[in-house]
Amino acid sequence: MDFNHARQTTRKRIEPKDYCDGKCTKCGSTDTYIRTSHVREIPEMGTTVEEVIAEVRAPTFACRACGATFTQEHPHYPPKFEYSLAVVEYALTRFHYHNSSTREIRRDLKVLHGVEVPEGTIDTWIKVHSADFLAAKQAPDPEAVPQAVEYATIDGTFVSTGPDVVGKKKRVDWLSVTPLASGALALTFPAAGRPTRARSRSCHTRKKNST
């Protein structure tokens, strides 16, 4: 295996048709055209053998219906940024989740991904964009919201998530079942003798299909 190689440069061309719908931001008309455009050369995440440069053509549209002019930006190549969103996210991820220093981030971007970023730029990203980055990463995934479970099995006893627990004589005023990522179900129900205040208990259960 030959490791004596030079890193190759790949240019990735991105045209307006790849990310613009051309819809007027003022009146909503689609009767628009590209008035002017320019090409942005933006360093992208590469590898140890490939340097990647994104050539993004950024257009300025004009609307025939209302005469307005407007621009549309690629979401992966934010305006006024010299680097792609992937590069910025990589740096913030390394800092917040891997406890990496700006020096280590700069080194690995250059050595492993072919992107040269000054430490001062990485430090600015951390100061300016960390709050938005962490908020986005910690936001709940809408698709991961637990669905209602009608029946569950606890030690062989069928129970309902309604006000009554089948197989028990004592009425339960409130019982909820929440699926956890591990596959277990978390049950929440009132503490004995204190019906107005609930406490949480978690136990491993399995779902059972209702018939």
pTM of the entire predicted model = 0.64
What pLDDT score was predicted for residue 146?
Answer: 57
Q: Which sequence spans correspond to the domains of the chain?
A: 1-78, 83-139, 151-206
What pLDDT score was predicted for residue 1?
Answer: 79
Q: Are strands 50-63 and 206-207 parallel, antiparallel or unpaired?
A: unpaired
- Judged against a pLDDT cut of 80, whether residue 152 lies above it is answered with no
- CB atoms near residue 61 (< 10 Å): 21
DSSP letter string over the chain? -----PPEEEEEEE-GGGT-----TTT----EEEEEEEEEEEEE---SSEEEEEEEEEEEEEETTT--EEE---TTS-TT-SS-HHHHHHHHHHHHHS---HHHHHHHHHHHH-----HHHHHHHHHHHHHHHHHHHHSPPGGGSPPP-SEEEETTEEEESSS--TT-SS--S--EEEE-TTS-EEEEEEETTEEEEEEEEEE--EE----
Tell me the torsion sign for CA atoms 192, 194, 195, 196.
negative
Mean pLDDT of 3-10: 88
Q: Which of 58, 78, 55, 63 is closest to 22 using CA atoms? A: 63
What gap in Å lies between CA 13 and CA 55, rounded to an integer? Answer: 5
What pLDDT score was predicted for residue 6?
Answer: 86
Segment among 10-14, 42-46, 137-141, 156-160 with least mean pLDDT: 156-160
pLDDT: is 6 or 177 the higher one?
Answer: 6
Tell me the torsion sign for CA atoms 119, 123, 129, 133.
positive
Segment among 62-71, 82-91, 135-144, 153-162 with least mean pLDDT: 153-162
Q: Are strands 157-160 and 50-63 parallel, antiparallel or unpaired?
A: unpaired
- Judged against a pLDDT cut of 60, whether residue 185 lies above it is answered with yes
